[in-house]
């Protein structure tokens, strides 16, 4: 049967008109592979941001029905922030995306993309650190981009590999702005929902709590962790509990669990409770336009696009890089919902952003630094 099918394909190929070669689209100059973490495509957050950088910003393509289609220029442009439109130009490339279902998939998936001849292999998320290290060492001629973690040695210290670029973010800076806004909107209580209780997510928590302390020092910050990044229902349960305890704003840094957080806030608002959600990683306002106050956007899309653009220009280099407010790596999404004192609140948040970028305010990234944090006058 397989032989018959092969013969059919060969015959079909032989029957094509010679003009077909002229009419065919030009072959992409590059192949860029991307391996997701277990959150996968459709997490509305971290993985989708990375995919946006690869598929939309770079390849100008949309993934539908298991295949890629060319994206209309106007559609692509609408998915790029105004401040980046002039900078983020398309690249001739073929995207190759492999989704991971369990952690054991990471290393074989990365190797699969290498074997497919990708010019650059992107590992999305800190959980892929060990797998990227192993595959990069086994394939010295391949180039890798690791998002959200440096390569660590046996003692946990950062090390560099000659074929791996790593990008981490100052999540605490964007989270500080989210906390500052939450403190200006809320009167007494705000909530934070984290995924796994690890140093990366603690950066979000520390920044958020410092922001609340700056604009509303009397407010109580209630913190809960789900322990996962891929359990929507658990996220909803935790957020429902925080709303029941009186939280007026709930910020999440919980991956796919966060969609449950937003759903819980949406339902609470529909029931008449004055509560807002703050999304994370991507602008999540589309999930509940009436409930999402803003989102702490983490520009994974920009980090992925930049690596691809560097590859195209033969300027790709290995090493570690950090992206914060100053580098455009984190920001707050546009605040479209109304609340009392909105104009004044946004002006205060903008002033705090300027202070962070200038170095006048240093945002804590862990519990120890948070304890010693002195809130700036506002």
Residue ranges of the domains in the chain?
27-169, 171-298+340-371
Contact criterion met (CB below 8 Å) for 333 and 174: no
What pLDDT does 24 receive?
53
Q: Does domain 27-169 have CATH number 3.40.50.2300?
A: yes
pTM: 0.88
What pLDDT does 114 receive?
98
Q: Which two tokens stand for residue 321?
A: 């890089």
Domains 27-169 and 171-298+340-371 share a fold: yes
Tens-place pLDDT, residues 233-243: 999 999 999 99
What pLDDT does 44 receive?
86
Q: Which two tokens stand for residue 135?
A: 């595959």
C-alpha 190/C-alpha 208 separation (Å) is 10
- Considering the four listed CATH numbers 2.30.30.60, 3.40.50.2300, 3.30.1330.10, 1.10.357.10, the one that applies to the domain covering 171-298+340-371 is 3.40.50.2300
What pLDDT does 25 receive?
57
The list of the chain residues with pLDDT below 50 reads 1-23
Q: At what angle do helices 171-185 and 342-358 cross, to 10 degrees?
A: 150
What pLDDT does 45 receive?
87
Task: Calculate what percentage of the chain has a pLDDT beyond 70.
Answer: 93
CA distances from 193 to 90, 202, 299 (A): 36, 11, 20
């Amino acid at each position: 049967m397989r032989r018959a099918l092969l013969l059919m394909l060969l015959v079909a190929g032989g029957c094509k008109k010679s003009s077909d070669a002229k009419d065919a689209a030009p072959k992409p100059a590059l192949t860029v592979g991307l391996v997701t973490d277990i959150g996968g495509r459709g997490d509305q957050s971290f993985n989708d941001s990375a995919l946006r950088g690869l598929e939309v910003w770079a390849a100008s393509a949309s993934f539908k029905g298991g295949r890629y289609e060319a994206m209309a220029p106007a559609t692509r442009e609408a998915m790029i922030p105004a401040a980046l439109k002039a900078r983020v130009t398309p690249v001739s490339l073929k995207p190759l995306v492999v989704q991971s279902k369990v952690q054991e998939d990471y290393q074989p998936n990365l190797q699969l993309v290498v074997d497919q001849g990708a010019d650059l292999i992107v590992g999305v998320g800190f959980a892929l650190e060990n797998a990227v290290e192993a595959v990069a060492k086994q394939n010295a001629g391949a180039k890798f981009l690791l998002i959200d973690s440096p390569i660590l040695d046996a003692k946990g210290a950062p090390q560099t590999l000659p074929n791996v670029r790593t990008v981490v973010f100052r999540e605490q800076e964007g989270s500080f702005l989210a906390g500052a806004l939450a403190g200006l909107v809320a009167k007494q209580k705000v909530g934070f929902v984290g995924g796994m209780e690890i140093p990366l997510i603690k950066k979000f928590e520390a920044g958020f709590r410092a922001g609340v302390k700056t604009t509303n020092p009397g407010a109580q910050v209630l913190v809960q962790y789900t322990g996962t990044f891929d359990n929507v229902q658990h996220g909803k349960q935790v957020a429902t509990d925080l709303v029941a305890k009186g939280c007026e704003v709930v910020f999440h840094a919980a991956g796919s669990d966060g969609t449950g957080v937003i759903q819980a806030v949406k339902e609470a608002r529909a029931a008449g409770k004055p509560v807002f959600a703050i999304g994370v990683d991507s602008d999540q306002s589309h999930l509940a336009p009436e409930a999402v106050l803003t989102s702490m956007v983490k520009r994974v899309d920009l980090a992925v696009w930049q690596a691809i653009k560097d590859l195209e220009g033969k300027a790709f280099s290995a090493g570690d890089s950090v992206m914060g407010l100053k580098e455009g790596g984190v920001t707050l999404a546009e605040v479209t919902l109304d609340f009392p004192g909105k104009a004044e609140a946004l002006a205060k948040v903008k002033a705090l952003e300027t202070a962070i970028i200038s170095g006048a305010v240093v945002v804590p990234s862990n519990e120890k630094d948070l304890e010693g944090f002195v809130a700036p006058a506002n």
